[in-house]
Copies of this chain bind each other. A is one copy, B any other.
């Protein structure tokens, strides 16, 4: 798939800018995809992420049962598929098939990677205390993959009501921050 492993200590650099992501899960050999924008880093290493997955979503049920998922980070070329995945439910639709996306095997979890995404983070659920009240899952990234050719990925960032901000230029400032 042309991807390389990416250091866990640098995973925050992929999620902190706030891209829309696609969460994959799998149960009984059947994979699903969910579009998600409500996530934040909680810790650097191991990388811990908090993310909101509504209990109305099919992914919620699978994640509660399997405790595994992959966070896939798409770029602009996939924007229509990202929206399409957000409109349909895995209860009725095989989204990989309908949207022409390719499954690749993960190495630590049973959920598949989306090959077309520029980065993939294999995750397990580590804390469900906030699920009942906020639908907030706390997950740990076990393994990260990246397309090393993409230095400044044109990630998409949801502004609501069909508007997406596309990642622009990257600037460098003298910073001591991690």
CB pair B171 A164 closer than 8 Å: yes
- Tell me how many residues of A have a C-beta within 8 Å of chain B: 56
Complex interface: chain B residues within 8 A of A13 (CB): 159-161, 163
Per-residue contact bits, chain A 44-60, to B (CB 8 Å; 1 contact, 0 not): 00001011100000000
Q: Answer whether residue A80 sits at the interface, using C-beta atoms and an 8 A cutoff.
A: yes
Q: Answer whether residue A168 sits at the interface, using C-beta atoms and an 8 A cutoff.
A: yes
Q: Copies of this chain, how many? A: 2
Identify which of B18, B87, B174, B178 contacts A83 (C-beta below 8 A).
B174
Q: How far is the CA of A166 from the CA of B171 in the complex (A)?
A: 7
CB pair A16 B157 closer than 8 Å: yes
Per-residue contact bits, chain A 91-135, to B (CB 8 Å; 1 contact, 0 not): 000000000000000000000000000000000000001100010
Complex interface: chain B residues within 8 A of A130 (CB): 129-130
Q: What distance in Å separates the Cβ of A129 from its nearest Cβ neighbour in chain B?
A: 8
Taking CB atoms and an 8 Å cut-off, the chain A residues in 23-42 that contact chain B are 35, 37-42
